[in-house]
Amino acid sequence: MACAAYALDQATKVWAVANLAPGESKPLLGDLLQLTLTRNPGAAFSTATGATQVLSVVAIVAFVTVIVVSRRIASPLWAVGLGSLLAGISGNLTDRLLRAPGPFRGHVIDFLQLPHWPIFNVADICIDIAAGVIILQAIRGIGLDGERQPAEAEA
């Protein structure tokens, strides 16, 4: 799943760069979803735009952490969550490593725009899905092994 989501992210970014002019909006679903190409040097909501190199290193650490943690997964839902997270991290990290203005400084390609929301990409969707699954599993008390974790004893 992670490989397919990563491939979709990269393919849609290549398509966006080839077919959209920066800043120009094209309706995809009327006013609900527009295609608007931007290059984002920062993180979500264009925060930390001056820290692209730091964000690149953080993404590498996150990538390695997900790979290490994923070796312990025995739950299908955790696999979906961490697979989505891996795809999202990898998609945006690829941009930071391979796109202009250069390695560890590359700008992330964003092109999907909802009303009153920052422009985003497929990797961002994957990260949001991962967050939802991880929160759900935590609320349910399900560990990576698929077993319900015992509740903490209340003091």
Q: Could you give the residue numbers annotated as active site?
A: 110, 124
- In the numeric block, which tokens belong to residue 15? 């398509």
For residue 73, what is the DSSP state?
-
Nearest alpha-carbon partner for 28 in 39, 18, 20: 20
Residue with tokens 């609900």: 32
Alpha-carbon torsion, ordered 113, 117, 119, 121, to 10 deg: -80
**What is the 3 state secondary structure string of 4-54?**
HHHHHHHHHHHHHHHHCCECCEEEEECCCEEEEEEEECCCHHHCCCCCHHH
- In the numeric block, which tokens belong to residue 133? 């699954």
Q: What is the Cα–Cα distance from 135 to 81, expressed in whole angstroms?
A: 10
